[in-house]
Amino acid sequence: MHSGVNRAAMLVLLVGCASNTPAPGVPGNHWRTGNHVHVRGPWDAIQPSSNVDEVIDQLCPAIMKLPRAQDREYGQEYCGAIYSLGEGTYYASMPSPLGEPVPVGPAKQKKCIPPRHVVDERGRPVILGDFHSHPWSPSPMSPADRIAATQIWSIRIQFDRACTVMKLIPYLDSDERPGEVYLRKDKNWKLVGVIRPEDKRYGLVTAVGDE
């Protein structure tokens, strides 16, 4: 009886370990479980801050130092998360190149999958938003970046090869409040467009002043 209990306990332990262990051949800072991407944090290239914008401003310069991050149509997108541990400080996760397969060769179809989970040994992460890069410029947020179906968190940050930074606040929990699209300029956010409630499904942006 005791041996049966021990075998059962060992099986639970092994299954638990397997579910949290990166797949063979995948770097330990990012891995997939089905369609979901897990990333570790914090990323030591990004200085934590109580001001989330200070974290956001560091992302593009750090990402552009990574392999193929600036290689345009032959480049690589990177995805990550901005999170806190509930103590008022924001961190960036390690960046992940994991995504769906794309054809080899020049194409503006590069994709990385926004993380669903952050692993930080210091505590339980609370994710504020995701970020991702585009390896060419100019490259504003694409329709796929803006549609409701691809939104996971409260904000989405995207930047291109020239470090033009954009922010989307989708407000998916509101049927009345439009989504908002911002451009980072001179350390400030400039509202450049809105996504009307009826357009959230399609990610259609109405430029500010053209409503």
Q: Judging by beta carbons within 10 Å of its beta carbon (0-12, 13-18, 19+), is residue 37 exposed, middle or buried?
A: buried
The predicted pLDDT at position 105 comes to: 59
The predicted pLDDT at position 28 comes to: 86
- Of the candidates 192, 197, 185, the one whose C-alpha atom is nearest the C-alpha of residue 209 is 192
The predicted pLDDT at position 100 comes to: 75
Q: What is the pTM of this model?
A: 0.84
- Of the candidates 110, 57, 108, the one whose C-alpha atom is nearest the C-alpha of residue 82 is 57
The predicted pLDDT at position 2 comes to: 36
The predicted pLDDT at position 111 comes to: 85
Q: How many Å apart are CA 158 and CA 136, to the nearest integer?
A: 12
Q: How many beta carbons lie within 10 A of that of residue 64, not counting itself?
A: 17
Strands (E), 73-125: 79-84, 90-92, 117-119
Q: Judging by beta carbons within 10 Å of its beta carbon (0-12, 13-18, 19+), is residue 94 exposed, middle or buried?
A: buried
Residue ranges of the chain whose pLDDT lies below 70: 1-27, 101-109, 209-211
The predicted pLDDT at position 104 comes to: 58
